[in-house]
Amino acid sequence: MGTVSRAISRAILPSDLEASLSDLPKVVPDDYVFISVRDAGDPGYAQPSSAAGHARYSLIRRGMTVGEFLAVDQRGNQPRRADITANAKAKPGQGTPNLGLSAPDSDAARAARAEFLGTAADPAIATSVAPEPKAPSAMLDPKRSRLVCEVDFDKDGKQNGFVRLFHSVHASAYGFIPIPITVVKNGEGPTVVLVSGNHGDEYEGQVALCDLSRTLDPEKIKGRVIILPMANFAAGMAGRRTSPIDEVNLNRAFPGDPDGTVTQQIAYWIESTLLPKADFVADLHSGGSSLMYLPSALMKKSGNTKRDEAQRAMLEAFGAPMNYISTGGSGTGQDNTLSGGAERLGIPAIGTELAGSGTVTPHAARVARRGVNNLLVHAGILPETERMEPPTPPKFVTVAGPEHFVYASESGVWEPLVELGQTVTADQVAARIYTPETPWRPPVYLRFQAEGIVLCKRVPGRTSRGDCLFHLGA
């Protein structure tokens, strides 16, 4: 990375530079550079809201890229780009912000970000303070990954092979875990990355992507389709949500660790090597063994208007019967998911919850196949003549926070009192929990905290305190 201009040698920023930074995007790119950092002893310094936040910002040094900072502090505190954005703006009573950032000295990079993010730094200011980094962020350096891919991403035609995750065990000293991958390419064009088997007990997406891997003809497409149908191979073979090797949930392991457990290494390879190739990403999930969903597709609002519009268009193209837009705050691990990795990279991404119950229903399989096909049409990879119209217009709802979830307050056998797709009201009784081991005890009644449509319910009748029983869309 280049050095920061010595012209900026103090924490107090010039007013014209302040103005250029006053409208930063909420998703701050990895290659933005910290050009000033207030010291905690500075009278104008606004104390972070927590001890964790104070410790986090003490790690920042002038000249670091955002990506390098996130790499240093990627565990524990879970820093967010929204925090960086907030601290790059002066707070009440402050003359200047706690952090100053600038774009790299690259006209092409600035123009691309300006077009995508809807904002740009003054080229003259950016040139004077932040030369282009000479190396990629350590957070997402694909050279650090230990995984080896057998296919050539730039070769035309169809290739099937494996991503080799080397794993030395008693039965196979120099063996590898074979993560299957298919690449279908024909000339120049957009790239769509399709993933399933992120959770091994979610099968609808795996079925759809197996079909696509087998049938997609490179001569009928324009661009590239990368298919990862069994992302967490060990979990898929075991039919489990988490890997039986390290007990790690892949969709809570991003951005991963190139030197971590096998699941953390998979997450790192996906975010550092696979996702940067994509123009569109779809991560196909369902309820797995413990939940059943109305077949749905979903997106998380990122705060970036253009990216969110692109994601909404992807949902409409996919055409699931139900679609929900998450505004965050539900505590379901969004920053540590594959979609969270796509957000860090600024790539439009959607997910699905195609059904569940640890099985495949004909209806959900049709939704998955049709949706994947229509995403390729939407991306311009397949021609418009290949579009498959859904039987009914898609519905859209919002999931805004924990009030849209019902959790078991006690352990026992639960009795749902509503069905999937039913509209409910706040304070309506949702379920009863019985304790057959003490049958004379009265059941515990649970109520909905908000009104909405029942998108999801728990499948096993036996439940434990803390289990999710229902999930609403408003």
Domain 141-399 has CATH 3.40.630.10: yes
- Of 113, 108, 277, residue with least CA distance to 190: 277
Give the whole-angstrom CA distance, residue 361 versus residue 356: 8
Q: What is the pTM assigned to this prediction?
A: 0.73
**What count of Cα atoms within 13 Å lies in the side-chain half-sphere of residue 333?**
10
Is the CB of residue 193 less than 8 Å from the CB of residue 228? yes
What parts of the chain have a pLDDT lower than 70?
A: 1-27, 38-59, 71-82, 91-95, 103-140, 329-331, 333-334
Backbone angles phi, psi at 118, to 5 degrees: 75, 20
pLDDT in tens, 205-228: 999 999 999 999 999 999 999 999
| SS3 of residue 468 by DSSP | strand
Q: What stretches of 280-401 adopt beta strand conformation (E)?
A: 280-283, 291-293, 296-300, 322-326, 349-353, 395-399
The 8-class DSSP code of residue 271 comes to I
Q: What is the pLDDT of residues 403-458, one digit of tens each?
A: 999 999 999 999 999 999 999 999 999 999 999 999 999 999 999 999 999 999 99
DSSP code per residue over 275-296: GGG-SEEEE----TTTEEE-SE
b/e for 199-227, b at 16 or more Cβ within 10 A?
bbbbbbbbbbbbbbbeebebeebbbbbbb
> Do residues 445 and 429 make contact, with C-beta atoms less than 8 angstroms apart?
yes
> Hey, where are the domains in the chain?
15-139, 141-399, 403-473
Neighbours of 330 (CB within 10 A): 17
Give me 8's structure tokens. Answer: 């900026």
Classify domain 403-473 by CATH number: 2.40.50.100
pLDDT at residue 152, as a whole number:
96
User: DSSP string covering 144-168, please?
Assistant: G---EESS-TT-SEEEEEEEEEE--
